Amino acid sequence: MSGNHCCDHECEGHQSINNTEDLGVLYSLYTRIDSDRIECLNEAVEGSGRLVFKPWDQRLNFEQFVESDCDEELLFKIPFTGNVKLKGLIVIGGEDESHPSRIRLYKNRPNMNFDDVNVEADQEFETMRDMNGTLEYIIKIVKFSSVHHLTIHIPKNFGNETTKVYYIGLRGEFTATQREAVLIANYELAPNPAECKTDIKDTVPQQIH
């Protein structure tokens, strides 16, 4: 286990969260993820990687998790529906040695695979066991101010053959892209088909016999 300790004080790259009341609002970026297009490489069960991006109040649902397959590594490929300014990350892993011990972040590299993770990460840090989601890793806003795709690489854990993750929470600010803003505007301006039918029916001239 890492020699770094993070208790009730802030330490380099980490901070312990004492007030968790507002975290449900702060950690709501999962709603801005294009969840159908999430990929998780080396997951033991297909599709399980996307299950860890969930609401804050479901973070302790240990029935939903992803576990790596043939070794410790996991690679999450996370597309957003707009641009995100990332500020914080929370990870809940296995209570034993299967908990991730290091995390590496890459921005706007949607086609990465395990052959590409030898390049320098935009940010990486040692992680600590956290079974309650009370330890936040501070993301460098300068480097992650305009992110449309995030890749999270977990290269190792605390000594288990496989890595297990129950929850990944992302905190930050979301901005709709120009295309999405236009789609939203068009949707709001478009007439309701039900209303159209009502209007048409009401305007049909009645025949008098």
Q: Where are the domains of the chain?
A: 14-176
Rounded percentage of the chain residues whose pLDDT exceeds 70: 77
- Cα separation, 182 vs 169, in Å, equals 28
Strand 39-41 vs strand 74-93: parallel, antiparallel, or unpaired? antiparallel
Question: Does 2.60.120.470 match the CATH number of domain 14-176?
Answer: yes
**Model pLDDT for residues 154-205, shown as the tens digit of each residue:** 999 999 999 999 999 999 999 998 765 555 555 566 666 555 444 444 434 4
**Model pLDDT for residues 13-53, shown as the tens digit of each residue:** 777 766 555 777 899 999 999 999 999 999 999 999 999 99
Phi, psi of 195 (to 5 degrees): -65, -35
**Model pLDDT for residues 144-154, shown as the tens digit of each residue:** 999 999 999 99
Sequence-distant (6+) residues with CB within 8 A of 192 are none
Q: What is the pTM of this model?
A: 0.79
